[in-house]
Structure 1
Amino acid sequence: MLQSIQHFIQKGMQSVSPCLLCSIDRQQHHSLCNDCWEQLPWFKQVVDRHEHSISCAFHYDFPIDRIIQSYKYEQQLHYQNLLAQSLLSLRLARVQAIVPMPISVERLKDRGYNQMLLVAHMMAKQLRIPVWQPVIRQVQHAQKGLSRLERLENIEQQFIIDPTEKRRFRKVLIIDDVVTTGSSIHALSTLLHQLHCTQVYAACIAAAQP
C-alpha cells in the first residue's frame, strides 16, 4: 500500500515537472518529455567486442554523451532514472543478479559514488533480483597510448575476486555506462566465470567507436 502511494506521488510530481533536457514540456518518459525521449540517439542493438555480445541502448552521441558525463563526473544524479530505464528498455535475458561495473577506491573517493551501482539498484528493484559485487577493482591506470593487447593486460590486472563475498549466482548481467573496446567487460566476465557463473550477459547504456 505504501509503495503504491509513493509511486502515485512520484508520478504526480513528474506530471508537473519540466523535462530535464528541454525544460519546456512536462516529464512523461522517465524524466523527459515525449519529444526529447524519442529524439535520443537510440540504438537498441548488440555490439560484439572481445567475443562478447553487449546489448546497448544508445549510440554515444549528443545528448546522451553529455548526460552520461554529467551523471558520472558532475554528480547530476537526477539522470539515474533515465539511464536505468534505458537499460530496462532493452531485451534483457532473465538473470539471477546484476553486476555493476566496479570502480577503484580512488575513483570512488573522487566521485563519491559508483555511477553504475546506483543504476543497478534501480534496475534490481524493478526486476526483483539482487545486486552482486563479487569483484574488486584496484587502481585504474590510464589506457591512453596503449596498444589493444596492452590495454587488455592492463585492465585484467585491475580486477580481483572479493574473498568476503560468499554468494554465488549462475546467470548474471554486467552493466556499464559506455562500451568502447569491451576490455573491462571481458576482464570482469572472466572472473565471473571463475566464480562458476555459467551465463554472463552484458548491457551498456551507450556504444562508442572502439
Structure 2
Amino acid sequence: MLSFIPPLLHKAMQRLSPCVLCGIDHQRHHSLCTDCWQQLPWLKQNIQRQEMQIQVACHYAYPMDRIIQKFKYEQQLHFQSVLVGSLIDLKLPKIQAIVPMPISSQRLAERGYNQSLVLAKILAKQLNIPVWQPVARLAQHSQKGLSRIERLDQIEQQFVIATKTRVRYRTVLMLDDVVTTGSSLHALKQKLEQLGCQKIYAACITSAEI
C-alpha cells in the first residue's frame, strides 16, 4: 500500500517535475510550466448556445485541442490536472453538485472511461461537493444526412432519466470537455429540469467553432 504523502510535500515534488507539455521547465501551474500555461488558447468568457450561457475556459485550438484528444482517446490521464485547472480559473458559481456529460455504454466500452466524469470527480473534490449522475445516455447513432431539426431531436432522445434517481439537487453545474452547438448540453438540461433543478449552469473546457 502506498504511504500518504503530505500536501506540502506533494506540491514540492510537483514543482520538481517537468512540464507535461514541453518537458523542459518545471511545473508551476496545474502540471504545466509558466510559459505553457500562459500560452494556452484562453477564452475565459461566457458563450451562448441553444439559449444557454456556457462558461468556457479556452478556445478549441492548439495545444488544448491536442491535450483533450490525448486525454479522451489515448488514455493519457496525466493531462487531467491542466484540464481541471483551466476550469478552476473560471470562477464558477456556487452550486450543490456537478453533473458530468453522460456517454453511452458503447462509448464507455470504446474509451474505458467517461472523460467528463473523471474531470468532474476531481473538480467536485476541490469544491467539496458531490458528483451527480441522474441522467443516462443511450447509444449514439450517426447523424449523417439528417437535417438540423432531426439532429436535435435525435440528440434529445438519447438522454433518459436514470430509474434509481432519489437524490435531488436544485442548483447544479453541467460539465463537458468541448462545446460546439450546445445540443447535448441543452438535452441534458431539459432532463435536469424534469428532475426539479431550478438553477442549471454549464461549463466547458473548450469551445469549438460551429
TM-score range, shorter chain: over 0.9
Show the counterpart of 2:15: 15
Show the counterpart of 2:32: 32
Offset at 1:141? 1.6
Show the counterpart of 1:146: 146
Show the counterpart of 1:69: 69
Q: Could you tell me which runs of 5 or more consecutive residues in structure 1 were left unpaired when the two chains were aligned.
A: none
Q: For the residues of structure 2 that align with 1:35 and 1:133, how far apart are their CA atoms?
A: 37
Q: How many residues align?
A: 207
Q: For the residues of structure 2 that align with 1:91 and 1:146, how far apart are their CA atoms?
A: 38
Deviations 1:99-135 (A, max 9, x none): 0000001111111100010100100001000000000
Q: For the residues of structure 2 that align with 1:143 and 1:33, how far apart are their CA atoms?
A: 40
Q: For the residues of structure 1 that align with 2:204 and 2:144, how far apart are their CA atoms?
A: 21
Q: For the residues of structure 2 that align with 1:159 and 1:44, how far apart are their CA atoms?
A: 28
Q: Could you say what the CA RMSD is over the residues aligned between the two structures, in angstroms?
A: 1.2
The correspondence of residues 117-128 of structure 1 with structure 2, limited to 5 A, is 117-128=117-128
Q: For the residues of structure 2 that align with 1:6 and 1:162, how far apart are their CA atoms?
A: 39
In the superposition, the TM-score normalised over structure 1's length comes to 0.96
Give, as a single letter, the amino acid of the residue that structure 2 aligns with 1:179: V
SS state of the match for residue 99, structure 2? strand
Q: Identify if the C-alpha distance between structure 1 residues 144 and 46 changes in structure 2 by more than 3 Å, giving closer, same or farther.
A: farther
SS state of the match for residue 6, structure 2? helix
Q: For the residues of structure 2 that align with 1:128 and 1:136, how far apart are their CA atoms?
A: 24
Show the counterpart of 2:199: 199
Offset at 1:12? 1.9
Q: Is structure 2 residue 182 aligned with structure 1 residue 185?
A: no
Q: For the residues of structure 1 that align with 2:145 and 2:57, how far apart are their CA atoms?
A: 28
Deviations 1:123-180 (A, max 9, x none): 0001000000000000012234433212211110100000112100000000000000
In the superposition, the TM-score normalised over structure 2's length comes to 0.96
Q: For the residues of structure 1 that align with 2:164 and 2:183, how far apart are their CA atoms?
A: 25
Deviations 1:35-60 (A, max 9, x none): 00000000000110000100000000
Give, as a single letter, the amino acid of the residue that structure 2 aligns with 1:150: E
Report the identity percentage: 60
The correspondence of residues 150-165 of structure 1 with structure 2, limited to 5 A, is 150-165=150-165
